Amino acid sequence: MRIDLFTLFPDWFDWFRGQRHVVNATESDGLELRFFHYRDTTPLTGGQVDDAPYGGGAGMVLRVDVVDAALRAAYEGSGSPSRVILLTPSGRQFDEALAQELASEPDLALLCGRYEGVDERVREHLATDAVSIGPYVLSGGELAAMVVADAVIRKLPGALGHADSALEESFSDALEGAPEYPHYTRPASYRGWEVPDVLLSGDHERVREWRLERSRERAARN
Protein backbone atom coordinates (compact mmCIF):
# COMPACT_ATOMS: atom_id res chain seq x y z
CA MET A 1 0.00 0.00 0.00
CA ARG A 2 1.09 3.54 -0.64
CA ILE A 3 -0.02 6.40 1.61
CA ASP A 4 0.63 9.95 0.41
CA LEU A 5 0.31 12.81 2.89
CA PHE A 6 -0.30 16.35 1.69
CA THR A 7 0.49 18.98 4.25
CA LEU A 8 1.95 22.38 5.06
CA PHE A 9 3.82 20.85 8.00
CA PRO A 10 5.61 17.68 6.88
CA ASP A 11 7.89 17.79 9.95
CA TRP A 12 4.86 16.88 12.09
CA PHE A 13 5.26 13.38 10.64
CA ASP A 14 8.95 12.95 11.55
CA TRP A 15 8.07 11.19 14.79
CA PHE A 16 5.31 9.11 13.21
CA ARG A 17 7.39 7.69 10.38
CA GLY A 18 10.00 6.42 12.87
CA GLN A 19 7.56 4.36 14.94
CA ARG A 20 8.23 0.61 15.07
CA HIS A 21 5.09 -0.64 13.32
CA VAL A 22 5.44 1.98 10.58
CA VAL A 23 9.09 1.00 10.04
CA ASN A 24 8.12 -2.71 10.10
CA ALA A 25 5.44 -2.20 7.46
CA THR A 26 7.82 -0.18 5.29
CA GLU A 27 10.69 -2.64 5.61
CA SER A 28 8.48 -5.62 4.79
CA ASP A 29 7.52 -3.86 1.55
CA GLY A 30 3.91 -3.58 2.69
CA LEU A 31 3.96 0.21 2.86
CA GLU A 32 5.35 3.22 1.08
CA LEU A 33 4.86 6.58 2.82
CA ARG A 34 5.33 9.79 0.83
CA PHE A 35 5.02 13.42 1.87
CA PHE A 36 4.03 16.39 -0.24
CA HIS A 37 4.30 20.01 0.85
CA TYR A 38 1.59 22.21 -0.72
CA ARG A 39 4.07 25.08 -0.85
CA ASP A 40 6.48 23.13 -3.09
CA THR A 41 4.02 23.07 -5.99
CA THR A 42 1.89 26.15 -5.40
CA PRO A 43 1.19 28.03 -8.65
CA LEU A 44 1.13 31.30 -6.69
CA THR A 45 4.05 33.63 -6.07
CA GLY A 46 5.92 33.85 -2.81
CA GLY A 47 4.81 30.39 -1.68
CA GLN A 48 1.24 31.55 -1.14
CA VAL A 49 -1.20 28.71 -0.39
CA ASP A 50 -4.21 30.38 1.25
CA ASP A 51 -6.52 33.34 0.86
CA ALA A 52 -9.24 35.26 2.67
CA PRO A 53 -12.70 33.64 2.61
CA TYR A 54 -15.31 34.94 0.18
CA GLY A 55 -18.17 36.40 2.16
CA GLY A 56 -15.82 37.60 4.88
CA GLY A 57 -15.00 36.13 8.24
CA ALA A 58 -11.96 35.27 10.28
CA GLY A 59 -9.01 33.20 9.14
CA MET A 60 -7.57 32.04 5.87
CA VAL A 61 -8.66 29.23 3.57
CA LEU A 62 -6.39 26.75 1.75
CA ARG A 63 -6.91 27.39 -1.97
CA VAL A 64 -8.34 24.84 -4.39
CA ASP A 65 -5.77 25.64 -7.11
CA VAL A 66 -2.97 24.98 -4.62
CA VAL A 67 -4.37 21.58 -3.62
CA ASP A 68 -5.08 20.72 -7.25
CA ALA A 69 -1.51 21.62 -8.24
CA ALA A 70 -0.11 19.41 -5.46
CA LEU A 71 -2.24 16.45 -6.58
CA ARG A 72 -1.40 16.95 -10.26
CA ALA A 73 2.32 17.12 -9.51
CA ALA A 74 2.17 13.98 -7.38
CA TYR A 75 0.13 11.89 -9.83
CA GLU A 76 1.13 13.23 -13.22
CA GLY A 77 1.39 10.24 -15.51
CA SER A 78 0.51 7.70 -12.82
CA GLY A 79 -3.22 8.26 -12.18
CA SER A 80 -4.89 9.32 -8.94
CA PRO A 81 -4.95 7.02 -5.93
CA SER A 82 -8.11 5.01 -5.32
CA ARG A 83 -9.09 7.19 -2.35
CA VAL A 84 -8.30 10.88 -1.88
CA ILE A 85 -9.33 11.72 1.66
CA LEU A 86 -9.86 15.23 2.95
CA LEU A 87 -9.47 15.45 6.72
CA THR A 88 -12.18 17.72 8.09
CA PRO A 89 -14.23 17.91 11.30
CA SER A 90 -17.39 17.83 9.15
CA GLY A 91 -16.56 14.54 7.41
CA ARG A 92 -17.73 10.98 7.96
CA GLN A 93 -16.63 9.86 11.38
CA PHE A 94 -13.62 7.55 11.22
CA ASP A 95 -14.11 4.10 12.74
CA GLU A 96 -12.75 0.58 12.60
CA ALA A 97 -14.94 -0.37 9.64
CA LEU A 98 -13.55 2.51 7.60
CA ALA A 99 -9.99 1.66 8.71
CA GLN A 100 -10.56 -1.89 7.47
CA GLU A 101 -12.00 -0.63 4.20
CA LEU A 102 -9.07 1.73 3.61
CA ALA A 103 -6.52 -0.95 4.49
CA SER A 104 -7.69 -2.96 1.49
CA GLU A 105 -7.02 -0.10 -0.95
CA PRO A 106 -3.78 -0.07 -2.96
CA ASP A 107 -3.15 3.62 -2.37
CA LEU A 108 -4.48 6.54 -0.34
CA ALA A 109 -3.92 10.28 -0.39
CA LEU A 110 -4.59 12.15 2.87
CA LEU A 111 -5.15 15.89 2.52
CA CYS A 112 -4.40 17.89 5.67
CA GLY A 113 -6.11 21.24 6.05
CA ARG A 114 -4.98 24.18 8.17
CA TYR A 115 -6.21 27.59 9.27
CA GLU A 116 -9.96 28.09 8.74
CA GLY A 117 -10.13 25.02 6.50
CA VAL A 118 -10.00 24.12 2.83
CA ASP A 119 -11.89 25.58 -0.14
CA GLU A 120 -15.06 23.47 -0.45
CA ARG A 121 -14.29 22.70 -4.11
CA VAL A 122 -11.54 20.35 -2.91
CA ARG A 123 -14.19 18.25 -1.21
CA GLU A 124 -16.57 18.55 -4.16
CA HIS A 125 -14.18 17.87 -7.03
CA LEU A 126 -10.82 16.52 -5.86
CA ALA A 127 -11.51 14.31 -2.85
CA THR A 128 -13.32 10.97 -2.90
CA ASP A 129 -13.96 11.08 0.87
CA ALA A 130 -14.21 13.59 3.70
CA VAL A 131 -13.25 12.08 7.05
CA SER A 132 -13.37 13.36 10.62
CA ILE A 133 -11.58 11.68 13.51
CA GLY A 134 -14.12 13.02 15.99
CA PRO A 135 -16.47 15.87 16.89
CA TYR A 136 -13.82 18.38 17.98
CA VAL A 137 -11.56 20.82 16.17
CA LEU A 138 -7.80 20.34 15.87
CA SER A 139 -5.42 23.02 14.61
CA GLY A 140 -4.60 21.05 11.50
CA GLY A 141 -5.21 17.81 9.64
CA GLU A 142 -1.80 16.34 10.48
CA LEU A 143 -2.82 14.60 13.72
CA ALA A 144 -6.04 13.42 12.07
CA ALA A 145 -4.04 12.01 9.15
CA MET A 146 -1.74 10.21 11.59
CA VAL A 147 -4.75 8.68 13.35
CA VAL A 148 -6.15 7.41 10.05
CA ALA A 149 -2.76 6.21 8.79
CA ASP A 150 -1.95 4.49 12.08
CA ALA A 151 -5.23 2.58 12.22
CA VAL A 152 -4.73 1.49 8.59
CA ILE A 153 -1.03 0.65 8.82
CA ARG A 154 -1.42 -1.69 11.79
CA LYS A 155 -3.67 -3.83 9.59
CA LEU A 156 -0.95 -4.28 6.96
CA PRO A 157 1.08 -7.49 6.84
CA GLY A 158 4.33 -7.20 8.79
CA ALA A 159 3.33 -4.10 10.76
CA LEU A 160 2.75 -5.78 14.12
CA GLY A 161 5.15 -8.08 15.96
CA HIS A 162 2.34 -10.67 16.22
CA ALA A 163 0.06 -10.82 13.21
CA ASP A 164 -2.70 -12.25 15.44
CA SER A 165 -2.80 -9.08 17.55
CA ALA A 166 -4.99 -7.33 15.00
CA LEU A 167 -7.41 -10.23 14.54
CA GLU A 168 -9.13 -10.25 17.92
CA GLU A 169 -9.19 -6.69 19.16
CA SER A 170 -11.74 -3.98 19.83
CA PHE A 171 -14.46 -3.70 17.16
CA SER A 172 -13.19 -6.72 15.19
CA ASP A 173 -15.54 -9.36 13.74
CA ALA A 174 -14.02 -11.87 16.16
CA LEU A 175 -15.54 -9.83 19.01
CA GLU A 176 -18.82 -9.18 17.19
CA GLY A 177 -17.79 -5.52 16.74
CA ALA A 178 -17.64 -4.97 20.51
CA PRO A 179 -14.80 -3.38 22.52
CA GLU A 180 -12.09 -5.78 23.65
CA TYR A 181 -12.29 -7.67 26.95
CA PRO A 182 -9.99 -6.70 29.87
CA HIS A 183 -6.40 -7.96 29.99
CA TYR A 184 -4.37 -8.85 33.07
CA THR A 185 -0.75 -9.89 33.61
CA ARG A 186 1.51 -10.70 36.59
CA PRO A 187 1.32 -10.31 39.51
CA ALA A 188 -1.90 -12.28 40.05
CA SER A 189 -2.48 -10.34 43.25
CA TYR A 190 -1.44 -6.74 43.81
CA ARG A 191 -2.48 -4.59 46.78
CA GLY A 192 -5.48 -6.85 47.16
CA TRP A 193 -6.52 -6.37 43.53
CA GLU A 194 -7.01 -9.87 42.16
CA VAL A 195 -6.90 -11.25 38.66
CA PRO A 196 -10.20 -13.08 37.89
CA ASP A 197 -9.86 -16.79 38.79
CA VAL A 198 -11.04 -17.97 35.39
CA LEU A 199 -7.93 -16.50 33.73
CA LEU A 200 -5.70 -18.60 36.00
CA SER A 201 -7.73 -21.79 35.48
CA GLY A 202 -6.03 -22.99 32.31
CA ASP A 203 -9.49 -23.84 30.92
CA HIS A 204 -9.31 -22.24 27.46
CA GLU A 205 -12.99 -22.68 26.69
CA ARG A 206 -14.05 -20.94 29.92
CA VAL A 207 -11.52 -18.16 29.27
CA ARG A 208 -12.91 -17.69 25.75
CA GLU A 209 -16.50 -17.49 27.04
CA TRP A 210 -15.53 -15.14 29.88
CA ARG A 211 -13.77 -12.79 27.47
CA LEU A 212 -16.65 -12.72 25.02
CA GLU A 213 -19.04 -12.01 27.88
CA ARG A 214 -16.91 -9.09 29.14
CA SER A 215 -16.74 -7.70 25.57
CA ARG A 216 -20.52 -7.84 25.24
CA GLU A 217 -20.91 -6.18 28.63
CA ARG A 218 -18.65 -3.32 27.57
CA ALA A 219 -20.59 -2.89 24.34
CA ALA A 220 -23.87 -2.77 26.26
CA ARG A 221 -22.46 -0.30 28.80
CA ASN A 222 -21.04 2.03 26.14
Ligand X SMILES: C[S@@+](CC[C@H](N)C(=O)[O-])C[C@H]1O[C@@H](n2cnc3c(N)ncnc32)[C@H](O)[C@@H]1O
Task: Draw the binding track, 123-152, toward ligand X (x: CB under 6 A; -: no contact).
Answer: ---------xxx-xxxxxx--x--------
Q: Spell 61-76 as b/e; 16+ CB within 10 A means b.
A: bbbbebbbbbbeebee
Q: Which residues contact 215 (CB under 8 A, 6 or more apart)?
A: 175, 176, 178, 179, 180, 181
Instruction: Quote the CA–CA distance of 170 and 6 in Å, as a whole number.
Output: 30
Q: Binding-site residue total for ligand X (CB under 6 A)?
A: 20
Specify the residue, 62 or 175, whose C-beta has the smaller distance to ligand X.
62
113 scored as a contact of ligand X (CB under 6 A): yes
| 179 within 8 A of 216, measured Cβ to Cβ | no
Residue 95: CB minimum distance to ligand X, A:
13
Residue 140: CB minimum distance to ligand X, A:
5
115 backbone φψ class: left, alpha, beta (φ>0; ψ -120 to 50): left
Specify the residue, 81 or 141, whose C-beta has the smaller distance to ligand X.
141
Which positions from 69 through 98 interact with ligand X, judged by CB under 6 A?
Answer: 87-90
The residues that touch ligand X, with contacts defined as CB under 6 A, are 87-90, 112-114, 116-118, 132-134, 136-141, 144
